[in-house]
Copies of this chain bind each other. A is one copy, B any other.
Amino acid sequence: MLETVAKPIVQTLIQTLRWLLIAIVAGMLAGTASAILIVSLNWATKTREAHPWIVALLPLAGLSVGLMYHYLGRQVEAGNNLLLEQIHAPSATLQLRMTPLILIGTTLTHLFGGSAGREGTALQTGASLADQITVVLRKLGVAFSDQDRRILLTAGISAGFGSVFGTPLAGAVFGLEVLTIGSVGYAAIFPCLAAAVVADMTTRAWHVHHTLYAIAPKDLAAATLTPAHILASLAAGLIFGLAAMAFARTTHALGAIFKRIPFPPLRPLVGGCLVAAAVLLSHQTQYIGLGIPTISASFTQHLPPWTFAGKFLFTTVTLASGFKGGEVTPLFYIGSTLGNALAMILPLAPSLLAAMGFVAVFAGAANTPIASTLMALELFGTEAGVFAAIACVMSYLFSGEQGIYRTQRTAVLPEEAE
């Protein structure tokens, strides 16, 4: 009796302590990388805003990023898709160079006015740094199986996501949820949570602060759960899902077009020309960079209804042509401004719809409805939780399975598998 009760407890304790130690290291590495990334992007954004003419150099920046990846980073060029692939079918360790390359590539993209995000970068730094732990442990002769490595890579993704956005719970579930469409597996639940919490603590310990968004108190007070509000949330979620689908499909389609340029470094050169020309001709800078000021504005004022479309175009061209950065902050931007616009036709307040769109377009594009709902709770509080959850689930359903991560797999239901 004692044996059967005590033995599994001791085994779980040893496993938990082992993963806690590993997750602390992975979390501190990922959190530090996220802090460096956020500080770099803040510097790049301020510098660009102080010198608007810098956008004219975007084609050259594109060429530099392209040359850098062509000659130094061909094996890590696939980025997030490579991460997911390695977790599904572990082969070679992620090269450590993934971290400096993606950090430099992302900073150049933002400094010269590309439209991109940062989560892709954070996932890659989080996971490639975590993968170095595998290398070190194995060199030290510590037993570390391929399954362990997969769990650690997943934890690295959670750590990167949780620390770059300041949302450790969403980060923990994102790692579990992003791997397989339509399923969450729990083998990595503790390492993911521990790494995400430690990473978030680490980023904050570096005195890096996250932008705060808030639903206007009067909009929250008006957000009662009436049938009309629920129906409006369902409709909004559907529209967010279609936007997510359009984003993923457009990025893939534009990527295929850019691939017709045979020498890869020329692709971001051409993409940079397009984006720079659009900025210089339109005198609009709100669609480039991370776009945090516009996201914030979508929570406080009415914006022109085409704002989301501008970001959509600038981001898909930037990323499809080979600039570096993530998709998620642009998806937050597209979602929150689209939500803001939907307030003109739906009986929900603009800041509530902005919050719903913020998480829901991302939920659809990444196929992560539960992580996105948790993110809404962490960023905006619990009062709008049901609205955010409805929007995220509807967007997940209507965005289709093809998301921004092409190497995601579709779940096998346990019943089907038996």
Contact = CB atoms under 8 A, between A and B. Distances in A.
A197 B187 CA distance: 30
Contact of A184 (B230, B370, B373, B400): B370
Contacts of A204: 225
B12 A397 contact: yes
A174 to B, nearest CB: 12
Interface in A200-253: 200-201, 204, 225, 230, 234, 238, 242, 245, 249
B412 A169 contact: no
A186 B187 contact: no
Given A12-B398, A189-B393, A173 B415 contact: no
Given A186-B411, A385-B169, A225 B201 contact: yes
Given A9-B398, A377-B377, A172 B413 contact: no
A215 to B, nearest CB: 13
B186 A182 contact: yes
Most buried by B among A200, A369, A417: A417
Given A197-B225, A201-B225, A414 B415 contact: no
Interface string A147-176: 000000000000000000000110011000
A20 interface: yes
A3 interface: no
Q: How large is the interface on A (under 10, 10 to 19, 20 to 34, 35 or more residues)?
A: 35 or more
A418 B201 CA distance: 37
A413 B413 CA distance: 9
A305 interface: no
A349 interface: no
Contacts of A193: 389-390, 393
Contacts of A234: 16, 20
A67 to B, nearest CB: 35
Interface string A3-14: 001001100110
A185 interface: yes
A204 B190 CA distance: 36
Contacts of A394: 16, 190
A235 B409 CA distance: 36
Given A183-B186, A377-B377, A411 B414 contact: yes
A259 interface: no
A414 B416 CA distance: 10
A396 B370 CA distance: 19
A381 interface: yes
Contact of A16 (B200, B381, B389, B397): B397
A400 B249 CA distance: 43
A88 interface: yes
A397 B190 contact: yes
Interface in A80-111: 88
Given A12-B397, A186-B369, 11 more contacts: A5-B245, A8-B400, A9-B242, A169-B389, A183-B183, A183-B185, A184-B184, A186-B396, A189-B369, A200-B225, A201-B225
30 contacts: A5-B249, A12-B397, A16-B398, A20-B234, A88-B415, A169-B385, A169-B386, A172-B389, A180-B414, A182-B185, A183-B183, A183-B184, A185-B413, A186-B396, A186-B411, A187-B413, A189-B396, A189-B397, A190-B394, A197-B386, A374-B374, A374-B377, A377-B385, A378-B382, A381-B381, A382-B382, A412-B412, A412-B417, A414-B417, A416-B417
The 9 closest A-B pairs by CB, nearest first: A417-B417, A184-B184, A182-B186, A412-B417, A377-B377, A412-B414, A180-B414, A193-B393, A201-B225
